[in-house]
Amino acid sequence: MKSIFDSKSLRLIAAGLVVVNGFFPAVWILLTSLKTEAELVSKPITYWPHAPTLGNYIQAFTDQPLLKYLGNSLAVALSATVFSLLVSALAAYAIARLNLKRRQLILTCIVASSMFPLVTLLVPIFETMRAFGLLNSYTALVLPYIVLNLPVCTLVLVSFFQSIPKDLENAAMIDGCTRMGALVRVVVPLAAPGVFTAGILAFVNSWDEFLLALSLNSNPNFRTLPVGITLYQGEFTFPWPIISAALIVAIVPIAVLIAIFQERVVGGLTQGGLKG
C-alpha cells in the first residue's frame, strides 16, 4: 500500500499545499500594503494592486516611530527568551532528574499559573510594577513574560530531559563532572531541538503579547510593535494598507529569524547522540 510519504509527486503536492497555507495570508497582507484604500472596496475584489505604491510604507514609518517599536519589541523578546530558557532549564532539570518528593505538585503549580486569563491579573501586575518603579521600561515586560513563558518552556524541557537516558549523565559524572556540569555539557546539547523549540515558543509569545504591553509601557519610547500597530486606526478609520505595511515590518524579522534557525530547530544534531 503506497502511502503519501512514498510517492514523490504526492509529497510535492502536499508540500505545495502547506506552502500555500502558510504563505497565503502573509502574501495577502503584502499585496494589500501596496494598494490604496479605495481599491479595497472595488467589486470584484482585486488581488494584484492596480498601481502598486510604496506610499503606505512611507506613511507607516512617518505616522509613528515604527523602527523604535521594532527595536523595543526585539529587545524585550530577546531578553525574555534568554531568561525564560535559563529559568525554565534549571527548573526542568530539577523536575526531570532530581528525586524530589512533591515533583508533581511543583509541575502543576508552574503550569497552573497559565490557567488564569491574563485580563483578570492586569491590575495587580500593574500595581506591582508601579510599586517597583518599573513602569515604562523593558524590565516591566520582561519579568512578566518570563512568567508567561515558564509553563510552556518548563514542560517542553522536562519532556525532552526525560527522554535522554540517565546513563549518559552518569557516565559524564563518573568522568569527573559535577551535576551542573553534566547538565550543561551532556543534557542540554542532546536536548537541543527541545531547547530551540522552547526558545522559539518563548520568543514568539513575547513578540506577540499585547495586553501587558498596552498597560505597562504606554510611553512611546518603550512601546512595542503589537500595540504600535493598533495605533494606526482611529475611532472611525481602519487604514488596512498602512496597517498591512506595518504588519509586514512586524513579520519580516521573525520570518528571517525562523529561516536562519529552522535548521537548528529541525536539524539532525541529535542523530548520533542516542546510540549508546
Partner 1 sequence: MATATAIDRLRDPSEKTLGVMLLAPAFLLLALIVVYPIGKLIWNSFFDLRLSGGSGIKFVGLENYALVFKDPDFWNAAKNTVLITLITVPGALVVGMGLAMLANLPFKRKWPVRLALLLPWALPLAFAGLIFAWFFHTEYGVVNDIVRRAVSPAEPAMWLLRPNWAFAAICLTIIWKTSSFMALILLAGLQMIPKSLYEAAEVDGASKWQQFWQITIPMLMPSIIVALIFRTITALQTFDIPYTMTKGGPGNSTETLAMLIHKTTIDYLDVGYGSTLAVCMFVLSLCVTAFYLKRIGKNA
Partner 2 sequence: MMRRTYLTALTAAAALVVGLASATTAFAQQTTLRVFSGGANQRPDLMRKLFDQYQAKNPGVKIDIETGGATSELQRQYLSTVLNAKDSAIDIYMIDIVNPAQYFGAGWLEPLDSYIGKPADVLKPYLPVYSTSNVVDGKLAAMPAFADAMFMYYRKDLLDKHGVKEPKTWDELAAAATKIQKAEGNANLQGLSIQGAPIEGAVCTFLLPYWGQGKDFNDASGKMTLDKAAATKGLATWLSMVDQGVIKKNVAEVKTPDTVNEFKAGQVIFAINWGFAWDRFKDDKDSTVQGKVGVMPLPAMTGGKSATCVGGWQWAVSAFSKNKPAAANLVKFMSSPEASKFLAQEGSLLATYQSVYTDADVVKAVPWFKDAANVVIAGKSRPISKDYGQVSDVIRTTTSAVLARTKTPADGVSEIESRLARVMR
**Minimum separation from the CB atom of position 76 to partner 1 (A):** 14
The nearer residue to partner 1, 148 or 222, going by C-beta atoms, is 148
CA-to-CA distance for 31 and 173, rounded, in angstroms? Answer: 57
Read off the amino acid at residue 128.
T
| CA atoms of 207 and 72, how far apart (whole Å) | 10
Q: Show contacts with partner 2 in window 226-265 (CB under 8 A).
A: 230-238
Task: Give Cα 232 to chain centroid, integer Å.
Answer: 24
Min dist. Cβ of residue 267 to partner 1 (A): 8
Q: How many CA within 13 A on the CB side of residue 175?
A: 10
The owner of cell 509527486 is 9
14 binds, among partner 1, partner 2, none (CB under 5 to 8 A by kind): partner 1
Question: Would you state the cell numbers that stand for residue 123, as one nine-digit string?
Answer: 491590575
Dist CA 124 CA 132 (whole Å): 12
Q: Which is nearer to partner 2, 194 or 241 (CB)?
A: 241
Identify residues 46-85 at the interface with partner 1 (CB under 8 A).
Answer: none
Q: Are 80 and 145 in contact (CB under 8 A)?
A: yes
Specify the residue, 175 or 235, whose C-beta has the smaller distance to partner 2.
235
Pick the stretch among 5-13, 85-93, 153-161, 224-232 that binds partner 2 (CB under 8 A). 224-232
- Residues forming contacts to partner 2 in the complex (CB under 8 A) are 36-38, 40-43, 122-123, 126-127, 130, 135, 211, 214-215, 218, 220, 230-238
